[in-house]
Structure 1
Amino acid sequence: MISITVNEKPIRIEKNTNVLQLLEKLQTPQNGIAVALNNNIITKDFWKYEILDENDSLLIIQATQGG
């Protein structure tokens, strides 16, 4: 197990978890969101390739509608 933060909340996950797996575990909708790993935007095409490491910081931003 490793420790990371998601939206500034500490969580523990299995080693070798990628961003896509984490989003699925957290039941986060995959459309209409932006993901930043350690302050770098990760495009949706690369979520399955980005393996999370100890002390990583993930920010998930949900798009909202407004007017």
Structure 2
Amino acid sequence: MEIKLNNQTQILQEKCSLQQLMDEFMPQKQKGIAIAVNQTVIPKANWQEHFLHSHDDVLIIRATQGG
């Protein structure tokens, strides 16, 4: 299955949840992260049951501190 992840094409196994995607691409820290699929933010509580589809556009945003 082909998706876009932060504007780069990625090939994934069939039936991949957002949590599985995060475990594969960002296994270390997953705090302070927001994910949008096709321009809709998916709450972290739903990552486990939100499954990706071919050609989904996934945007991972990391919160930063600054001043």
Q: TM-score range by the shorter chain?
A: over 0.9
Q: What one-letter code is carried by the residue in structure 2 that aligns with 1:38? A: N
Q: 5+ unaligned residues in a row in structure 1: which ranges? A: none
Segments of 4+ in structure 1 off by > 2 A?
A: none
How many matched pairs? Answer: 66
Separation in 1 of the partners of 2:4 and 2:15? 15
Residue 27 of structure 1 and its aligned partner are, at CA, apart by: 2.0
TM-score when normalising by structure 1: 0.94
Q: 5+ unaligned residues in a row in structure 2: which ranges? A: none
RMSD (Å) for aligned C-alpha atoms: 0.8
- Identity fraction in percent: 35
TM-score when normalising by structure 2: 0.94
Matches within 5 A, 1:11-30: 11-28=10-27, 29-30=29-30
